[in-house]
């Protein structure tokens, strides 16, 4: 604000000085022109009134005219109504007659100089004719006073303008900075952790402050999303660690118990084989659990999948053939098109098929009919595996894709990670999973993945 006022003041001052100089120059040039015209008229008057005196001057004139004797240089006649003609005569006496004759020769206009401390008050020129040497002078008061008055008026007006500018600028700046003050207050509250969902006020695109508020709100939205994602991730990690430790604790406890019984000789010789089988079984269970945990960890890491254009139909047919080989008695129906390309990671998609069919084997009787279908739905490939098994309650269906979740009817051998892995793979493909079920009406699991573009 101070800088703006200083620059404005300097500009107004420079404008005032330049205007005064231009006005003074213009008026002096006009005086010189008028002086040349007046000199010509004075010569004509002298010719017409050779015998006239100052008292005989026919009409008032703003000019002062002095006629000098051509031989002696003495003043023979004067006329004109210029203020204080005695000052003009006094200053004229400061010049020699020879000097005036030289000025008459070149027709130059000059200032009638006064004492060293005085300002020239008249412009003069000299002419010569048969009657004598004629000196014509014109006062320069207006040419001196008007620029001074102009400068004074401009300084007063400039002062008033600067004062008005300072007051108006202060008000406008305060009004313009008000949104920034509100944004600063909001930012302080956000930084204090009061509410990450709070946004900057005045988010409109018709002003610089509004556009700034829009940009900051966009940034705050992304920060809030990242913060919420981090909180969700932390909660998932904590829950994952708790569930994993719980799931690993059971087989470890079993293995440790059998090992201590064997070390203490508490297992009869005829039961040692069964104890070893239980240890092996629990060790295999731990290995499967650890492998599935590592699989989920990889899926949580961005860039873990290798996408390629792949025909999904052969993958579905292979998975169904494998399931038929494991359970020949299960009725399996396949409904797939001739070809359907998707942008997928082939290994992961095969894992989805294997997990879903294994889930059917684990939770339905061996003779339960199962239908596997693949179809196109707009820009997605839709895989559906529907069984006619016992189905599941609504409360189990709502959490079936949660990690380590096992429903009340789930056998104890499952890890609770099979459908979680299916869900994670679908999300990593940019797709989604769904489940439709009801007690006694079977279960249908749906997986959507993007089609090849």
For the stretch 167-209, pLDDT in tens is 887 777 777 677 777 777 777 777 776 666 777 776 666 677 7
pLDDT value at 302 more than 70: no
pLDDT tens profile 127-172: 887 777 888 888 877 777 788 888 888 888 888 888 888 888 777 7
Residues 6 or more apart whose Cβ sits within 8 Å of residue 143: 24, 27, 28, 31
pLDDT tens profile 303-319: 667 889 999 999 999 99
Answer whether 248's CB lies under 8 Å from 291's CB: no
Q: Which two tokens stand for residue 249?
A: 């604790």
CA angle 24, 28, 32 (to 5 degrees): 170
Give the residue-averaged pLDDT of 347-360: 90
pLDDT for 53 equals: 46
pLDDT value at 91 more than 70: yes
Distances (CA, A) of 184 to 55, 189, 208: 86, 9, 15
Q: Could you confirm whether domain 305-450 is CATH 3.30.565.10?
A: yes
Distances (CA, A) of 202 to 51, 207, 215: 91, 9, 12
pLDDT for 55 equals: 41
In sequence order, the β-bridge partners of residue 79 are 65
Residue-averaged pLDDT of the chain: 80
The Cα 165–Cα 169 span in angstroms is 6
**CATH fold for the domain made of 203-304:** Helix Hairpins (1.10.287)
Residues 6 or more apart whose Cβ sits within 8 Å of residue 413: 285, 362
In sequence order, the β-bridge partners of residue 311 are 341
- Counting residues of the chain whose pLDDT is more than 90, the rounded percentage is 15
pLDDT value at 369 more than 90: yes
Q: Which of 23-37, 171-185, 347-361, 435-449 is predicted with the least confidence, judged by mean pLDDT?
A: 171-185
Q: What SS3 class is residue 31?
A: helix
Answer whether 300's CB lies under 8 Å from 424's CB: yes
pLDDT value at 434 more than 70: yes
């Amino acid at each position: 604000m101070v800088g703006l006022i200083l620059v404005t003041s300097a500009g107004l001052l420079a404008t005032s000085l330049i205007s005064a100089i231009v006005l003074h120059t213009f008026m002096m040039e006009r005086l010189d022109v008028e002086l040349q015209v007046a000199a010509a008229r004075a010569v004509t008057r002298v010719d017409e009134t050779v015998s006239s005196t100052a008292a005989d001057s026919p009409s008032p004139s703003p000019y002062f005219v002095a006629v000098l004797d051509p031989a002696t240089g003495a003043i023979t006649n004067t006329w004109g109504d210029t203020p204080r003609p005695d000052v003009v005569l006094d200053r004229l006496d400061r010049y020699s007659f020879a000097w005036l004759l030289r000025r008459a020769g070149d027709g130059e206009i000059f200032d009638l100089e006064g004492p060293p401390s005085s300002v020239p008050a008249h412009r003069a020129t000299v002419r010569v004719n048969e009657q004598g040497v004629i000196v014509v002078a014109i006062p320069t008061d207006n040419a001196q006073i008007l620029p001074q008055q102009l400068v004074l008026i401009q300084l007063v007006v400039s002062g008033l303008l600067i004062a008005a500018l300072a007051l108006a600028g202060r008000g406008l700046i305060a009004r313009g900075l008000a949104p920034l003050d509100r944004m600063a207050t909001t930012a302080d509250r956000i930084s204090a952790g009061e509410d990450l969902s709070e946004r900057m006020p005045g988010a409109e695109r018709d002003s610089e402050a509004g556009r700034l508020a829009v940009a900051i709100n966009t940034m705050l939205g992304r920060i809030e999303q990242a913060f919420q994602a981090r909180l969700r991730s932390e909660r998932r990690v904590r829950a994952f660690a708790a569930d994993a430790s719980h799931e690993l604790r059971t087989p470890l406890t079993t293995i440790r118990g059998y090992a201590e019984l064997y070390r203490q000789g508490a297992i009869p010789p005829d039961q040692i084989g069964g104890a070893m089988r239980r240890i092996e079984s629990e060790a295999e269970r731990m290995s499967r659990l650890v492998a599935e945990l590592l699989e989920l960890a990889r899926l949580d890491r961005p860039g873990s999948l290798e996408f390629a254009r792949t025909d999904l139909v052969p993958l579905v047919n292979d998975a169904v053939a494998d399931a038929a080989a494991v359970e020949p008695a299960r009725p399996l129906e396949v409904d797939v098109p001739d070809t359907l390309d998707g942008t997928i990671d082939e290994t992961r998609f095969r894992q989805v098929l294997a997990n879903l069919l294994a889930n059917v084997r684990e939770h339905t009787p061996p003779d339960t009919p199962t239908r596997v279908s693949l179809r196109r739905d707009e820009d997605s490939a839709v895989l559906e595996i529907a069984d006619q098994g016992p189905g599941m309650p609504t409360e189990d269906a709502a959490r079936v894709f949660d990690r380590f979740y096992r429903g009340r009817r789930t056998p104890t051998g499952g890890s609770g990670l099979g459908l979680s892995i299916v869900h994670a793979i679908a999300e990593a493909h940019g797709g989604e999973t769904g489940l439709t079920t009801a007690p006694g009406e079977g279960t249908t699991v749906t997986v959507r993945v993007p089609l090849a573009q």
